[in-house]
Amino acid sequence: MQGTTHIIGGVAAAIVLHSHFQQPVSEPIIYYSAAIAGAILPDICHPKSMIGRRLPILSTAFSKIFGHRSLSHSLLFMVALYLLTAQTSFSFQTGLLIGVGSHLLLDMMTAQGIKLLYPLKLKVRTPLYVKTGSLLGEGLVNIGLILIITMSLFHT
């Protein structure tokens, strides 16, 4: 998926968690900002990604060491982020992990899939998947995410 799709997905996941599961958010700006940051963070492994272009040295190094859609697209990465953010606010940590989780789920919906269980080389993808960047595939995913956001905002 592309960066904008990941941002929409991160916001959708954060809204769903907040509205449907009554997740308390004492710092909404931090929560939603962290969800957006988390939604693009796993693509640090791709120098031409939204985050890779902003952090080219780190992105290039990460890509050369681990490759694309490996460590940063794994449960191991999420556990590491959880541990690294243990001393931050609950809103920041939760938002960041929600964003990363949404990124992983969306990339599992692509033909390439992800190495969810890295360092195992097994690639994981959903039974129904789209081609990254395809107008139809990403368009349908974005429409679905916007519908989820809209329905969640009007959820009582």
Instruction: Give the tens place of pLDDT for each residue, 44-100.
Output: 999 999 999 999 999 999 999 999 999 999 999 999 999 999 999 999 999 999 999
Q: For residue 127, what pLDDT is reported?
A: 95
The residue type found at 61 is A
Instruction: Give the tens place of pLDDT for each residue, 83-97.
Output: 999 999 999 999 999
The residue with greater pLDDT, 81 or 142, is 81
Which residue, among 78, 59, 56, 58, has the nearest Cα to 68 in the 3D structure?
A: 59
pTM: 0.91
